[in-house]
Structures are given as C-alpha cells and as structure tokens.
Amino acid sequence: MNAPVLFEEKTTANGMRLGFATLNAPQTLNGLSLEMVDLLAQRLDAWSRDTGVAMVVLQGAGGKAFSAGGDLHGLYHSMQAHRGQGAWANPLARDFFEREYRLDYQIHTYPKPILCWGHGIVMGGGVGLMMGASHRVVSETTRLAMPEISIGLFPDVGGSWMLNHMTGRIGLFLALTGAQLTTSDIFYAGLADFRLDSTDWPRVTEALLQPDWAAKDADDGRTARLINDGLLRQALLAHAPSTALAPGPLRQHAAMIDALCGGEDLGMIVDAIGALKTHEDPWLARAASTMLAGSPGSARLAFALLRHTRLSSLADVFRTEYVAALACAAEGDFAEGIRALLIDKDKQPKWNPATIEQASEAWVQRFFEAPWPAGQAHPLADLGAR
C-alpha cells in the first residue's frame, strides 16, 4: 500500500535542500485523513528545524486535485456510532478537528516559505492547507470552493477568518452559496499569489533547484527567510503566463453581491440570493440553487460565525470553529449531508431545521457552547502562544 503522503528532499545547486510533500490519495481526490494530517504535521515540524531545508512544496498526486476536502466517510461512521451522545463523545471528531486545525495554523505561521501548488480541485480541507501557505500558486485547472453548506457543516479550517478578510460582502456570499471560483476570481478574492500554466509545473520544480538558497543564520532565520521569499517569488514570476486574466463572475457581480448581502437580517439575505436562481448568468443561478438546496442550519451557523469572529485573531478563530465543528458532528445535518451526498447518494437530504426561520439566532447559540467537562482547558488553548 502506498503511503498517504509522500515526502522527498531535493538538493539544490548550492547544496541546500527543498522539501516536497505530496498528498497521495488520488482515488479520493487527496481528501485529508487523520493519518495524512499527522504525517504532514510531523514532517513540517522536522523541516522547520532543519537548517539545510530552505523551503517546502505542498502538492497533490493524480493531476485532478490538490485536495477536495477531509475524510467525510470516516467522520460519518464516527457520527453514526456516537449519535445522541453529545458533542464531546466522538473521539475521532475531537482528534480530527483539533489536529487538522493545528496543522493549518502551523502552515500559517511556518518559519520558512511554503509553496502550495493549488492545481485542480481545492475545496474544504484543501483550502485550509493552501490558505496559510506563503506562496499560493494556481493554474487554469484550479477550482476552489468552500461548499460545506451542501453537507451540513460550515466553512471551517480557518474559513471564518479567510472569508472575513475578503473585500465587501463576498465572503458571506461564498459561505452561503459554496460558489466555485476559477483562477481570475481566486485572485480577486485574495486567495492566490501566483499562477502558472499546469504544463509548466515540472519545469518550475526543476528551476527551484537553481537559486542560491540561504541557510538559517545567527539572527534566527529572519534574513534567510527574506532572501528565500524573494528567490521563490522571482522563480514563480519568471514562469508566470503573460496573458491577462479576464474578470470572472465574482468580480463582475461584486457590487450586486455586496448589496444583496448587506444588513444583518439573514432571512432577507437568503431571500435576495435565492431570487438569483433564474438569473441569466449560470454562475449566479447555480450559486443560488446550491444555497437553496443546502442546510439552513449551516447558513445560520456560517453567518453567526462570521459575525462572532469578525475581529478575532487567527488562533481565536480556530478555537471558535473547533467548538462549532464538534457541535456539527453531534447535530444531525452534518451526518445527513454526507449520507445524501456520499453514502446513499440520493442527493435528497432532510435538513433539520428545515428553514432559516427555524434556524434562528437562539437555535445557533448551541454551536458556541464548550462541550468538554467543566474546568478542562480548550484543546487548542495553546494555539498562538508561541
């Protein structure tokens, strides 16, 4: 059996090394399992302390996806096994979300450059990995989305932080609709730094072996980091396509989206977006239809999380999302959404609550209540302490 993550070190022209981590589960579009999370975290930690490693590359095997999300099958079976036992009763959910969020935060705060090759499908947990990388690279094949409303979850893995940092109200729109973004709109939303033609990727990885990468020095690596960030930027820009990107539908409709998603009445916002289901632009129509078919509880939770974390630090966002994720694993919609999409595949989820009105502000408060025993510290209490 092949390892779920492949690690390789390549020696550069001046004797430094580059670390390559390849998600190796193409049969599931490189969906993240707990084993993959742990392997990545351990190797990233080792590379961060290795003075001979200049930078890290994250990529996915198979050509179709960097990562399409997390291990939903495993989470589904754990939710079924612990149904009705409360949010703290599911050990897989507790471990998975804690360790996945720690990995995402580790990438956000990594002391060396990380290039994430976001080719193909990048969704859910894949966005969490890519979002924190210092050099986020996309291609003409990239399709990025946070479609959790369709499975009864919410844009987690730091998604609340990411969406709150987008211009205007487009973050809320993307959370409610799970709308898919292509290259141009990925840049407009601030989720990518560079682009390459997918056919150029092998040449780029070879070109990365040529610069004189700097080693960690006496000032604890600050100078080396500045040098290596610059060298990586130069290498990526040298291979960037010369053709300009045409504005995508998100950018074209940004003013309208801001108007539709303004205010603090979620019911009115949902009605306004829902009216787009017959819009002549198929991207808007699809976004509206996805929202209308999605979990009303997820819509309310995403809305509440964006408000609750608007001024929060990244570490506090992960702590808040952890509590909400465990509540989702205990509530019915997350399991029901996975069942309808991946288990029975009938695509007919029975959401509860069934409407935005039923998914009220009072109802959503349960997703902010710590489920662990009184007196116990938050499992992510130490996040951001160093």
Mean residue pLDDT of the chain comes to: 96
Alpha-carbon span 318 to 293, nearest angstrom: 27
**How many alpha carbons fall within 13 Å on the CB side of residue 360?**
4
Q: What residues does each domain of the chain span? A: 5-368
Taking the domain 5-368, which CATH number applies? 3.90.226.10
- For the stretch 11-44, pLDDT in tens is 999 999 999 999 999 999 999 999 999 999 999 9
pLDDT for 386 equals: 56
pLDDT over 90 at 358, yes or no: yes
pLDDT over 60 at 1, yes or no: no
Confidence of residue 217 (pLDDT cuts 50, 70, 90): low
What is residue 10's DSSP assignment?
E
Buried b (16+ CB within 10 A) or exposed e, 246-271: eebbbbbbbeebeebbeeeebeebbe
- For the stretch 133-142, pLDDT in tens is 999 999 999 9
pLDDT over 70 at 357, yes or no: yes
CB 232 within 8 A of CB 115: yes
pTM for this entry? 0.97
SS3 116: strand
Candidate from 30-34, 145-149, 215-219 with smallest mean pLDDT: 215-219
pLDDT over 70 at 372, yes or no: yes
The two tokens of residue 168 are 């205007």
pLDDT over 80 at 385, yes or no: no
pLDDT for 243 equals: 93
Confidence of residue 332 (pLDDT cuts 50, 70, 90): confident
Residue 108: which residues within 8 A CB-CB, separation 6 or more?
A: 131, 132, 158, 314
- For the stretch 70-126, pLDDT in tens is 989 999 999 999 999 999 999 999 999 999 999 999 999 999 999 999 999 999 999
pLDDT over 80 at 187, yes or no: yes
- For the stretch 253-299, pLDDT in tens is 999 999 999 999 999 999 999 999 999 999 999 999 999 999 999 99
pLDDT for 216 equals: 78
CB 302 within 8 A of CB 40: no
